[in-house]
Amino acid sequence: MQPRFNSADPAGLASADLWRQRAPDGKNTGADSRIGEAAQIGGGMNETVDVLIIGSGASGAAVAWSLAETRMKILCLEQGDWIRQSDFPSNGRDWEARRYGDFDISPNRRGRPTDYPINDDNSPMKIANFNAVGGGTVMYTAHYPRMHPSDFRVRSLDGVADDWPVDYATLEPFFAENDRMTGVAGLAGDPAYPPHQPPMPPLPLGKTGARYARAMNQLGWHWWPSDSAIATTEYDGRAPCINLGHCTPGCAQGAKASTDITYWPHAIRAGVELRTRCRVREITTNEHGMAAGAIYYDADGVEQFQPAEVVIVACNGIGTPRLLLNSASARFPDGLANSSGLVGKNLMLHPWPQVGGYVDERVDGDRAPMLSLWSKEFYETDVSRGFVRGYTLQFARAGGVVSEAIDSEARGLLPWGADHHRIYRQLVHRRLRIGIACEDLPEEHNRVTLDPVLKDSHGIPAPKIDYAISENTRRMMEHGIARASEILTTAGATNLFTSRTVLNSPGHLLGTARMGDDPQRSVVNAWGRSHDVKNLFIVDGSIWVTSGGVNPTSTIQALALYIADSIKRRLATLFD
């Protein structure tokens, strides 16, 4: 099946031309005069674009592709590089070692010139990301669940946090469009999941998955083949998965749907410009309080100014508040778009305990993608469990041979000396591991601020994270750990071990510029536009109101497509 372009709103496209006020020579008129002094700030000056997108990851790519059909002049600035598939660790025998080097999931350990440091000392959960064309999707595991309808109504259903200003039904067409563009593998008919029709058949369960499934049947608990952003057939020029099992540090086969190989080729072909190695320092505003463009450092480190009619921020739940806070000015002294004081607050990171164990036969080891089934048995609220909201159980394969050696030695299972090799053979490729994807609720004290000392290589203040796990989430984690232990025991696993917070995992960065109808309680409105600055939009994970108990990228991208569609429908009245 081929991906389809979304249906254009012909009225919206016609009005785009009016809105742009193009002069016969193709240059913008009118709106350029609003740039005023801001244009003078940077060392270099570029031609005005209609839309400037900052960040090329999951959401930036989706919004760029969707807006491309308007034929507006669209530019994306991305601080990272294109990553060639031939550079991925899975091309070499040292692939696991490189997960602790240039493909580490922590920017602090990875330390590429394109990364920025993050002070996460005051958080039990560390920050994982990737800064490149494709953003976090280059590095993600491609487990691809959607939020459930109840996730958008937690205040109405459970009396906690807030309802979203948008519901699942409104987003449904954009989930479907994103599934087509991304290429999702899965199986329709899951009774505990919103109805949908994935374009490709699911990943095989393998020996590991079949073992989990038998255990779940024995316990009478829900399980289903999971949705994955991994091609199981030829799809949109991409080759199918060949079960190499190195998905997380990048898929050299091109089966995993990172946006550098899904949305970006289509967006670029449709005329979007993507400028790499361009790190934005701040968004500037003009005398009317509108966004005027952005100051950035180009690939040679030279300061540039990029004027724009509309600015869309897609830098993720850490990078976006960092940029807005770094864009403080006399008019916006607490940071741009921050009259609510909520920029950076309500950070949600999805605590992710893991329980593992070993079975007495060789299973798949690390051959094949890490996850192929899930359970929604404990997803919806049941107050008799002692907490509100819930979690997804994710059934994982083992890691590689090096991670097995490191982990089992650290857990005291693998001795040094005469028995080392014999016991290692009893452990390797025999591990099962269940991840518990817990919903954490928004709390203002969990936040991103600017570190007073730490700076990136351009001297731009780095983000600082303060985060603590709430009592409700702790109870949920313990419940999940007990259930996962029961499942593993039923599956025949012994030597069980638990990690309550997995180092640098899971890289879900949410909630720091939340959506809402009330400008005093939110940063952007129901379609992603800043309450304070009418030509400024945010489309990444920072606009989330609550976090659900699922990996976020499918919903992040559906939201980005929905915001792009909302912009297209309102082009003529965008600044009203």
Ligand X SMILES: Cc1cc2nc3c(=O)[nH]c(=O)nc-3n(C[C@H](O)[C@H](O)[C@H](O)COP(=O)(O)OP(=O)(O)OC[C@H]3O[C@@H](n4cnc5c(N)ncnc54)[C@H](O)[C@@H]3O)c2cc1C
Spatial separation of the C-alpha atoms in residues 217 and 209, rounded to whole Å: 12
The one among 128, 213, 229, 230 contacting ligand SF4 by CB under 6 A: 230
> Can you read off the two tokens belonging to residue 216?
């779940």
Map tokens 């041979």 to a residue.
Answer: 401
Q: Is 242 in the site for ligand SF4 (CB under 6 A)?
A: yes
> Can you read off the two tokens belonging to residue 269?
């072909």
The one among 238, 279, 350, 433 contacting ligand X by CB under 6 A: 279
Q: Is 203 in the site for ligand X (CB under 6 A)?
A: no
Q: Is 437 in the site for ligand SF4 (CB under 6 A)?
A: no
The one among 65, 130, 164, 395 contacting ligand X by CB under 6 A: 130
Kindly identify the residues of this chain, within the stretch 364-393, that bind ligand X according to CB under 6 A: none
Q: How far is the CB of 394 from ligand X (least distance, A)?
A: 9
Q: Which residues pair with 357 in a beta bridge?
A: 432
Compute CA distances 562 → 14, 166, 288, whole Å. 20, 10, 28
Q: How far is the CB of 576 from ligand SF4 (least distance, A)?
A: 46
CB nearer to ligand X: give 23 or 302: 302
Q: Is 182 in the site for ligand X (CB under 6 A)?
A: no
What three-state secondary structure class fits 301?
coil
Q: How far is the CB of 101 from ligand SF4 (least distance, A)?
A: 18
Q: Is 247 in the site for ligand SF4 (CB under 6 A)?
A: yes
- Binding partner selected for residue 316 from ligand SF4, ligand X, none, CB under the kind-specific 5 to 8 Å limit: ligand X
Q: How far is the CB of 197 from ligand SF4 (least distance, A)?
A: 22
Contact 364, 207 (CB under 8 A): yes
CB nearer to ligand SF4: give 142 or 481: 142
502: buried, middle or exposed (CB in 10 Å: 19+, 13-18, 0-12)?
middle
Q: Which of 65, 4, 55, 59 is nearest to 268 (CA)?
A: 65
The one among 85, 150, 233, 243 contacting ligand SF4 by CB under 6 A: 243
Q: How far is the CB of 372 from ligand SF4 (least distance, A)?
A: 10
Spatial separation of the C-alpha atoms in residues 555 and 443, rounded to whole Å: 21
Q: Which residues pair with 313 in a beta bridge?
A: 54, 538
The one among 15, 46, 70, 79 contacting ligand X by CB under 6 A: 79
CB nearer to ligand X: give 254 or 492: 254
The one among 66, 248, 284, 372 contacting ligand X by CB under 6 A: 248
Would you give the binding string for ligand X spanning residues 142-181, x where CB under 6 A is met?
xxx-------------------------------------
Q: How far is the CB of 242 from ligand SF4 (least distance, A)?
A: 5
Q: Is 105 in the site for ligand X (CB under 6 A)?
A: yes
Q: How far is the CB of 251 from ligand SF4 (least distance, A)?
A: 3
Spatial separation of the C-alpha atoms in residues 182 and 555, rounded to whole Å: 12
Q: Which of 261, 241, 268 is nearest to 138 (CA)?
A: 261
CB nearer to ligand SF4: give 346 or 372: 372
Kindly identify the residues of this chain, within the stretch 8-67, that bind ligand X according to CB under 6 A: 54-60
Q: How far is the CB of 573 from ligand X (least distance, A)?
A: 27
Q: Is 6 in the site for ligand X (CB under 6 A)?
A: no
Kindly identify the residues of this chain, within the stretch 342-381, that bind ligand SF4 according to CB under 6 A: 368-369
Q: Is 135 in the site for ligand X (CB under 6 A)?
A: yes
Contact 405, 414 (CB under 8 A): yes
514: buried, middle or exposed (CB in 10 Å: 19+, 13-18, 0-12)?
buried
Kindly identify the residues of this chain, within the stretch 505-524, that bind ligand X according to CB under 6 A: 506-508
Q: Is 182 in the site for ligand SF4 (CB under 6 A)?
A: no
Spatial separation of the C-alpha atoms in residues 135 and 508, rounded to whole Å: 12
- Binding partner selected for residue 553 from ligand X, ligand SF4, none, CB under the kind-specific 5 to 8 Å limit: ligand X
Q: How far is the CB of 295 from ligand X (least distance, A)?
A: 10
Q: Which residues pair with 228 in a beta bridge?
A: 143, 185
What three-state secondary structure class fits 50?
strand
CB nearer to ligand SF4: give 256 or 464: 256
Compute CA distances 92 → 101, 230, 402, 434, 573, whole Å. 14, 21, 14, 28, 53
- Binding partner selected for residue 253 from ligand X, ligand SF4, none, CB under the kind-specific 5 to 8 Å limit: ligand SF4
Spatial separation of the C-alpha atoms in residues 47 and 32, rounded to whole Å: 10
Spatial separation of the C-alpha atoms in residues 245 and 231, rounded to whole Å: 14
Q: 54-78 in b/e burial notation, b at 16+ Cβ within 10 A?
A: bbbbbbbbbbbbbbbbbebbbbbbb
Number of residues that bind ligand SF4 (CB under 6 A): 15
Taking CB under 6 A as the binding criterion, the range among 153-161, 235-243, 267-275, 534-542 that sits at the site for ligand SF4 is: 235-243
Taking CB under 6 A as the binding criterion, the range among 10-18, 244-252, 440-448, 508-516 that sits at the site for ligand SF4 is: 244-252
Taking CB under 6 A as the binding criterion, the range among 248-256, 357-365, 557-565, 568-576 that sits at the site for ligand SF4 is: 248-256
- Binding partner selected for residue 247 from ligand SF4, ligand X, none, CB under the kind-specific 5 to 8 Å limit: ligand SF4
Spatial separation of the C-alpha atoms in residues 203 and 145, rounded to whole Å: 14
- Specify the DSSP element, H or E, that contains 437: strand 431-438
Q: Which of 570, 575, 573, 560 is nearest to 66 (CA)?
A: 560
Compute CA distances 529 → 321, 337, 543, 561, whole Å. 15, 10, 10, 14
User: CB neighbours (10 Å) of residue 83?
Assistant: 19
Spatial separation of the C-alpha atoms in residues 128 and 419, rounded to whole Å: 36
Q: How far is the CB of 235 from ligand X (least distance, A)?
A: 18
The one among 31, 77, 105, 255 contacting ligand SF4 by CB under 6 A: 255
What three-state secondary structure class fits 405?
helix
CB nearer to ligand X: give 72 or 315: 315
* Amino acid letter, residue 557: Q
Kindly give, in sequence order, each residue whose CB lies less than 8 Å from that of residue 302, ignoring residues fewer than 6 positions away.
43, 44
Residue ranges in contact with ligand X by CB under 6 A: 54-60, 77-80, 105, 128-132, 135-137, 139-144, 248, 279-280, 314-316, 319, 323, 506-508, 540-541, 551-553, 556
Residue ranges in contact with ligand SF4 by CB under 6 A: 90, 230, 241-247, 251, 253, 255-256, 368-369
